[in-house]
Structure 1
Amino acid sequence: MIDRDPITDEDELHRIANLPKIELHLHFEGAAPPAFIRGLAKEKKVDISGIFNEDGSYAYRDFWHFLEVYEAATSVLKTPEDFARLCTALLEESARNGVVYCETFLSPDFCGGGDVTAWREYLHAIREAADAAERDMGITLRGIVTPIRHFGPEKAKRAARCAAETAGDWIVGLGMGGDEKQGRQRDFAYSFDMAREAGLRLTSHAGEWQGPSEVREAVEDLGVERIGHGVRAIGDLAVVDMLIEREITLEVCPGSNVFLGVFPSLKEHPIERLRERGVGVTVSTDDPPFFHTTMKDEYLGLAKAHRWDEEVFAMINRTALDAAFCDAATREAVLKKLEPSA
């Protein structure tokens, strides 16, 4: 490993925290601030008090209970207007953390139950909010449609159809999330083939809870070009080398991985080992209020744990921009925000 001096200088840490950032792995509903969900539940007279701690944060025991709490929180999001309001709330938070470009996972299962007509209505409302945020806050958002693995392959096909019918300059990809221990990656090949034929780019969660073979299966069985998480690939260097050879980028969420116990600490997290070997790694928050993190927190944590300086973060952001699913015009505009003199 490269021997870097520990970063302790407060001015340098301040500069790192305030760097412009790209985030490729953010779950739309998972980014809902608890106060936003509580307020919406109160408006709708829905009692979901059991999903919160006394301090108002989300309460859950482990990853699988987290999925249940996530779906309970999402249950109060009923209308296109609700999702538009959430879009504004999450982009305000992202912009405060210096994010200039973000790709978010959106599920038609939560936006119209997989019905294409209803999905279009939800998507229109979300896009209007995103366009306003780009105009007012300078942050660009793009959507990745998300089949939910533990909902099964048939529901995934409905989500993929919604993706294919709305593919374009804003819906730019398909990316499966959910419980990695349910089924196999190949069970969802039909949905990924449908999305690919519609011109969408592909990613899938793999190698968070399952081992390196899960990462290999996502690449070989689904033909993805990015992997959500992918960090357990470090357990098999042949899989790591496959990622390098095929130029597969990892959407790494270090704070999420540590919070959920995938790795015991940021210092023991393999993101630096993967990066030094030559894997394209990026940094994201996953479901930030659930895992008590922000993009500023992620940057500061990595600076302290792995001695990443501004140069390393510039490389990380350039990797993320190269791997982003947006069109060339958007990429060029975002590059100017990363490198004002470019």
Structure 2
Amino acid sequence: MIPKAELHCHIEGAAAPELVLRQAEKYGADVSAFIRDGAYHWHDFTSFLKAYDGAAGLFRTPEDYALLSETYLCDLAGQGAIYAEFFTSPDHASRVGLSARSYTEGLGEGMRRARERTGIEARMIVTGVRHVGVEAVERAAQFAAGCGHALVTGFGMAGDERMGHPRDFARAFDIAREAGLGITVHAGEFGGPDSIEAALDALRPSRIGHGVRAIEKPALVERLSAEGVVLEVCPVSNVVLGVFPGFASHPFPALYAAGCKVTLNSDDPPHFHTSLGHEYEVASRHFGLDDAALDVITHTALEAAFVDEPTRSALLARIGQHVAL
């Protein structure tokens, strides 16, 4: 099995329907509006957000979140993943009355359990939500910078790209950067190439979440390649959400051929009926990547991972063992 690594997944969005159903039973909640026949159901971006928030609202204690991260990471390890990063959202925790620290400690406990069970390494990226506002994003950055949790190694920003300019959030990213955290930001999904350029100029990330619409501006593709900015690409998500009409028009192969550092990721996997393993299958079947190229994709992800160098070296050695076989 090809070793895999993931850099872009929202942990609340990774909650499998069967786990959410168990949580609904625990809390006496009705989830029939968005889970039917054991699967998520939604029809547009608004209903997707309602399903996402409805599921997230059923994780209310540190132990709930420990169960979520352990379940997801163990499943990921079963797909051949040796490393994973996921986005955390203190704003979601606050909605159910859970402190950011308790939320993070719960997720960390689940990560510890998953590592003991499977050997998978994992880290957390604290995210601010762009459309909630500048102050909320800065609070998230301050928490990330000051929480002291060993598994919190990155900071990012998700949310509606149409809201605000990246420069509005520069202070939040400076706070995180000064604390030694890795920096990533969502851009170039529903926003066009200008969204990516603005993020690069104002926030100086080493990685861009999605970034696929860079393909619309050749000079930007050249810049991304030259500067070595890593793109956290989520092909199935892009097609399901209508960013591209199908895999035949998806720019992953063109970005890869242009020398951009691209990785494969699942975003909110059960909502899009995907998995990290399926994303690798899509890259093989639709983008023409052979096993050697897929190993390069995993290598790129590990080189871009927000981890200490001894951990990175150990993870890269695991890929080397696979290639040598």
Q: Which residue of 2 aligns with 1:86?
A: 68
Q: How far apart in 2 are the matches of 1:225 and 1:132?
A: 29
Per-residue deviation at 1:171?
0.7
User: What is the alpha-carbon distance in structure 2 between the residues aligned to residue 318 and residue 87 of structure 1?
Assistant: 24
Find the residue that maps to 2:272 and give its secondary structure. Answer: coil
Q: Deviations 1:302-321 (Å, cap 9, x if unpaired)? A: 11112110111011111111
Query: Equivalent of 1:321, from 292, 302, 306?
Result: 302
Q: Percent identity?
A: 43
C-alpha contact (below 8 Å) 1:108/1:145 kept by paired residues: yes
* 1:165 and 2:146 correspond: yes
Displacement of 1:19 in angstroms is 0.7
One-letter code aligned to 2:252: I
Tell me the TM-score normalized by structure 1. Answer: 0.90
Structure-2 separation of matches of 1:257 and 1:303 = 17
The DSSP-based 3-state class of the residue aligned with 2:321 is coil
1:245 and 2:226 correspond: yes
Rounded to whole Å, the distance in 1 between the matches of 2:126 and 2:61 is 18
Instruction: Determine if contact 2:3/2:295 at 8 Å carries over to the other structure.
Output: no
1:133 corresponds to: 114
Distance 1:61 1:114, change over 3 A: closer
1:42 is the counterpart of 2:25: yes
Aligned to 1:208, the other structure's residue is in SS state: coil
CA contact under 8 A between 1:167 and 1:200: conserved in structure 2? no
User: What residue in structure 1 maps to residue 15 of structure 2?
Assistant: 32
Q: What residue in structure 2 maps to residue 289 of structure 1?
A: 270
Equivalence for 2:100: 119
Q: Match for residue 217 of structure 1?
A: 198
Q: Would you say how many aligned residue pairs link Structure 1 and Structure 2? A: 323
Q: 1:30-72 CA deviation, whole Å, 9 max, x = no partner?
A: 10001111210111112232122x3221122222331222112
- In 2, the alpha carbon distance for the partners of 1:121 and 1:111 equals 9
* Alignment partners' CA distance in 1, 2:96 and 2:172: 13
Shift of 1:95: 1.1
Partner secondary structure for residue 339 of structure 1: helix
- C-alpha distance in structure 2 between counterparts of 1:212 and 1:114, whole Å: 36
Q: Which residue of 2 aligns with 1:264?
A: 245
Q: How far 1:167 moved relative to its partner?
A: 4.8
> Bigger CA drift: 64-73 or 215-224?
64-73
What's the CA shift for 1:141?
A: 0.8
CA offsets, 1:220-270, max 9 Å, x none? 111111000000000001111111222100000001111111111112110
CA positional deviation for 1:340:
1.8
Contact 1:167 1:198 in 2 (8 A): no
Consecutive unaligned residues in structure 2, runs of 5 or more: none
Unpaired segments ≥5 residues, structure 1: 1-17
Partner of 2:82, secondary structure, is strand
Measured after TM superposition, the shift of residue 153 of structure 1 is: 1.3
Per the alignment, in what secondary structure is the counterpart of residue 39 of structure 2? Answer: coil
Check whether the contact 1:157–1:190 (CA below 8 A) recurs between aligned residues.
Answer: yes
Please show how residues 296-311 of structure 1 align to structure 2 within 5 Å. Answer: 296-311=277-292
CA RMSD in angstroms, aligned pairs only: 1.7
CA contact 1:167–1:199 (8 Å) conserved in 2: no
Secondary structure in 1 matching 2:85: strand
Give the whole-Å Cα distance in 1 for the aligned partners of 2:6 and 2:99. Answer: 28
SS at match of 2:263: strand
SS at match of 2:301: helix
Letter matched to residue 306 of structure 1: F
CA contact 1:254–1:298 (8 Å) conserved in 2? yes
Instruction: Give the superposition deviation at 1:152.
Output: 1.4
Matched, 1:65 2:53: no
TM-score by length of 2: 0.95
Q: Secondary structure at the match of 1:49?
A: coil
